[in-house]
Amino acid sequence: MNKKAKRTDSAALNSSLIRRPIQRQFAIFLLPTFICFCIGFLWPFIQGVYLSFHKFTTISHVEWVGFNNYIKAFNDAGFRHAFGYTALVAGVSLVLINVLSFAVAYALTRNIRGSNLFRGVFFVPNLIGGIVLGYIWQMLFDRILPVSMVNVTSYGFWGLIIVLCWQQVGYMMIIYVAGLMAVPEDMLEAARIDGANGWKTLWHITLPTVMPSITICTFLTLTNSFKLYDQNMVLTNGAPKMKGVFTTEMMALNIAKSFSTANQRGAAQAKAVLFFILVAAISIIQLTVTHRKEVQQ
Amino acid sequence: MSVRTAGPEGKHTTGQNALTAVFVGISLLWILPILIVVMNSMKTNTAINMDAFALPNGETYVGFSNYVNGMTFGNYPFYSSALYSVFITLASTALILVCTSMAAWYISRVGDLFSKIVYYLCVFSMVVPFQMVMYTLANTSRMLHLDTPWTIPVVYLGFGAGLAVFMFAGFVKSIPLSMEEAASIDGCGPLRTFFSVVFPMMKPTLISVGVLEIMWVWNDYLLPYLVLDQNKYKTIPIHIQYLQGSYGHVDLGATMALITLSLVPILLFYVLCQKHIIAGITAGAVKG
């Protein structure tokens, strides 16, 4: 009761001293960001949803076609393949990146000499943007592989996986290091006294304690892979093409390419809406899972 | 797995020293791709084509001539791309930091219906992938003549507002009102209260958001590619992609030199503020 009374009291004071004067300066504080937000996000988003139900080549010539664009998108073999391929890349990179980054983080929290320097080095690829990063590796792959990677689907696939691991292991490692540092020393001590060996301690004490980090990293790698565009474009740009389908094309690249063909723009926008729903669904699942974990802890 | 902790007084066991040795090797391997690019940037084209992994010798070493060639290689001077990249990154980040921190303060302290709507729209925008708006955003910004380096920060503020507002609003909620009330009693208007009391307190979040935005804008490709007038303005990622995509013979040495040059600013930035970068990036990851 006391607490509540106090809060209304301070809210009243807040209202006259802080709230009203700020509210009067709406045009200075909120309006600039809001206008830019409308230009850079809100209006394009609404227009995007609107256009996905229309046939158009430019924004000024639109014709209502109902769900036709969505039907076209579902019937597009290239898009369906891109969805499967994206899921495959996401799945494989999720497992590899998380296992590798956890292993590195685990080893680097064993109090070894130079561990800070090693952490710094592992993080470096993460600073490089997708285009430059992809180009560095394309140059290397071109000289290591017997055949160019744009000719062989499996080369393109594993090439992309290697690039993704190189880029993200350092990042996820940082998150895992933070999680591992928070494992209480007395719990480890107790396990040692009880005679648990390294593996048992890792499995029964360390892993359950760093579960929140594992959840974060799992979803980060997942959404990173689903939204991937730059590296995919630079490494193979979807090639090779077999039976009319670009075999190494991911969803983001497929959508961007469709936009550049004038008579596919309606379908491209419909694909983009489907893509948005998919990515948003992953994010919402992530939020609920993280919240549940937080309550349990 | 016999090694778990250091001995007393920070002495390291043999196992730990072995692990250190292993990591020296892995670390070198890890940055080898970058080292190979730097090495090749100082070799002749034929030498790169023959053996990209060989160290330069007396015949194949050309010093910095690839860098000189690279500056003007490919019909568009690299230094203008670099300058545009630097300008766009700094201007966009500054604009985002000032505008969204003010907006977030307004949203948290006023808290009326409109503020709440804007806040939830910002949160919503964080889960929308760029492909969803790429076509319409490019059209809108062309229509409003935002297709120059001087105006593209407006687009970045618009598309990047979500995460920034979210992070600032989260921070504002955690700071007590009493300082702002005191400033107000002392006769400060909202602007003065914000810039002399609230803004300095936001420093940790300003650094986190600043790092995130710098990394995003500097490395971004698709947004500037779609928004900027390509014939007049390029950024570094667009420039590199343009060199790679151009048909005919590619000057490998020059390209390696340009890639090296494009890595210098971001690596310098990393060396200078490694702690802030790692803290900022992980803060964004955990909250976003």
CA–CA gap between residue B152 and residue B150 (Å, rounded):
6
What burial letters (b/e) apply to B217-238, b meaning 16+ CB within 10 Å? bbbbbbbbbbbbeeeebbbbbb
Among A80, A126, A148, CA closest to A220: A126
- Among the partner residues A18, A113, A216, nearest to B20 by beta-carbon distance: A113
CA–CA gap between residue A31 and residue B168 (Å, rounded):
17
Contact B135, A54 (CB under 8 A): no
Compute chain B's Rg from CA coordinates: 24
- pLDDT, tens digit (0-9, with 9 covering 90-100), for A138-194: 989 988 898 888 899 999 999 999 999 999 999 999 999 988 988 888 888 898 888
A253 to chain B, any CB pair closer than 8 A? The answer is no
Comparing alpha-carbon positions, the chain A residue that sits nearest to B110 is: A19
3-class secondary structure, B43: strand
Residue spans of the domains in chain A: they are 2-51, 71-296
What pTM does this model have?
Answer: 0.90
Name every chain A residue with its beta carbon within 8 A of the beta carbon of B3. 110
Query: What pLDDT shows up at residue A36?
Result: 97
- Among the partner residues A30, A48, A166, nearest to B118 by beta-carbon distance: A30
Give the whole-number percent of chain A exceeding pLDDT 90.
61
Among A121, A101, A80, CA closest to A224: A101
Instruction: Give CB contacts under 8 A, 24+ apart, made by A150-157.
Output: A150/A236, A150/A237, A150/A239, A150/A240, A151/A239, A151/A240, A152/A240, A153/A240, A153/A242, A153/A247, A153/A248, A156/A235, A156/A236, A156/A239, A156/A240, A156/A247, A156/A248, A157/A88, A157/A89, A157/A248
Query: What pLDDT shows up at residue B155?
Result: 97
Q: What is the mean pLDDT of residues A235-242?
A: 92
Q: What is the mean pLDDT of residues A11-37?
A: 85
- The pairing of strands A245-246 and A62-64 is unpaired
Chain-chain contact of B285 with A234 (C-beta, under 8 angstroms) = no
Decide which of 1.20.1090.10, 1.10.540.10, 3.40.50.10790, 1.10.3720.10 is the CATH code for A71-296: 1.10.3720.10
CA–CA gap between residue B131 and residue B223 (Å, rounded):
10
Higher pLDDT, B4 or A15: A15
Q: Is the pLDDT of residue A204 over 90?
A: no
Q: Is the pLDDT of residue A102 over 60?
A: yes
What mean pLDDT value characterizes chain A? 89
Compute chain A's Rg from CA coordinates: 25
Contact B85, B235 (CB under 8 A): yes
Query: What pLDDT shows up at residue A1?
Result: 42
* Type of residue numbered A49: V
Q: Is the pLDDT of residue A214 over 60?
A: yes
CA–CA gap between residue A246 and residue A234 (Å, rounded):
14
Name every chain A residue with its beta carbon within 8 A of the beta carbon of B157. 33, 36-37, 40
- Among the partner residues A33, A111, A112, nearest to B99 by beta-carbon distance: A33
Query: What pLDDT shows up at residue A6?
Result: 52
Decide which of 1.10.490.130, 3.90.960.10, 1.20.59.10, 1.10.3720.10 is the CATH code for B78-287: 1.10.3720.10
| Region class of A4: left (phi > 0), else alpha (psi between -120 and 50), else beta | alpha
Query: What pLDDT shows up at residue A11?
Result: 60
- pLDDT, tens digit (0-9, with 9 covering 90-100), for A65-93: 999 999 999 999 999 999 999 999 999 99
Confidence of residue A9 (pLDDT cuts 50, 70, 90): low
Among A93, A121, A103, CA closest to A231: A93
Query: What pLDDT shows up at residue B286?
Result: 56
In the structure encoding, which two tokens stand for residue A65, read together?
């076609």
Q: What is the mean pLDDT of residues A245-257?
A: 96
CA–CA gap between residue B120 and residue B166 (Å, rounded):
9
B141 to chain A, any CB pair closer than 8 A? The answer is yes
Q: What is the complex's ipTM, to 2 decimals? A: 0.90
B120 to chain A, any CB pair closer than 8 A? The answer is no
- From first to last of its 288 residues, chain B has per-residue pLDDT tens of 334 444 444 567 888 888 899 999 999 999 999 999 999 999 988 888 888 888 888 888 888 888 988 888 777 899 999 999 999 999 999 999 999 999 999 999 998 999 999 999 999 999 999 999 999 999 999 999 999 999 999 999 999 999 999 999 999 988 888 888 888 888 889 999 999 999 999 999 999 999 999 999 999 999 999 999 988 999 999 999 888 766 456 788 888 999 999 999 999 999 998 888 888 877 766 544
Bridge partners, residue A241, by sequence = A246
Q: How far is A256 from chain B (nearest CA, A)?
A: 7
In the structure encoding, which two tokens stand for residue A250, read together?
């991911």
CA–CA gap between residue B40 and residue B56 (Å, rounded):
8
Residue spans of the domains in chain B: they are 8-72, 78-287
Comparing alpha-carbon positions, the chain B residue that sits nearest to A59 is: B139
Residue A240 gets which letter from DSSP?
A: P
